[in-house]
Structure 1
Amino acid sequence: MYELVFWQYQEEVYLNHQLVYEALIEEETVEGLELLPVQVILNRIASVFSDWEKVDADSWKNPKGKGAFQVKTTPLSVAIDCYGTQGKTMDKLVSIMEEFKCPLFDPQVPARYDEYYEEE
């Protein structure tokens, strides 16, 4: 399993990414994060992966047998657990979340890929 986690900081807020991640995993509220349009995000994922088999409300499986993923949401975050998915699939998920200005936090590294947003 490979976990991808996303959230958006409020303007002028910059926190310790690892501590934010740990708090979100524990389902704690984190001050300084934007509320996310969770249903809109889920609809966008469903649209992009419409050719995948929808296993349940939050899970998709590649009909060609190459991977699956499950989306877990809170009002402040989106976590996607990837099971045997290819890099191309994970890149698509990251791109979707970038549409919502939510850069990737990769807890396996750990690193947050938000340089793009800091330069704006």
Structure 2
Amino acid sequence: MSHERLAQLVEFRHEGNDWPRHHDYASDEEHTLGVWIHTQRYKHRRGDLGMARIKLLDAAVPGWQTGRTRAAHPAGDRIRVVPIGGRWSPPHSSKLSPLACNPSHRRSARSGDRGLS
């Protein structure tokens, strides 16, 4: 493990920066540190990072195993509202069906069921 990279990461974090990214980075320094910490995490997941290195990382930069959360991305904090059927509804989500996002679909389905009998 490069003690120089670890010292750079400690300084980067002490300057108030979030965890460095290896994609969508803002500077060459962030990219270099992002690739390095990504590699440490990858080695740790594979079981290729020794206990001494893990303890050193834990002591120097607590939270290194987790890093950023997905919601921390700048675009992830924005919610876009789009008009659907003359009403404002949240955008479609991969977790929701299109019918769940538009309440008018649910009403028409219920009223259609009642109209068939």
Could you state the TM-score of these two structures normalised by the residue count of structure 2? 0.23
Q: Which has the higher helix share?
A: 2
**Bigger relative contact order, structure 1 or 2, given CA contacts below 8 A and separation 6+?**
1
Q: Which has the higher strand share?
A: 1
TM-score (normalised: structure 1): 0.22
Larger radius of gyration: 2
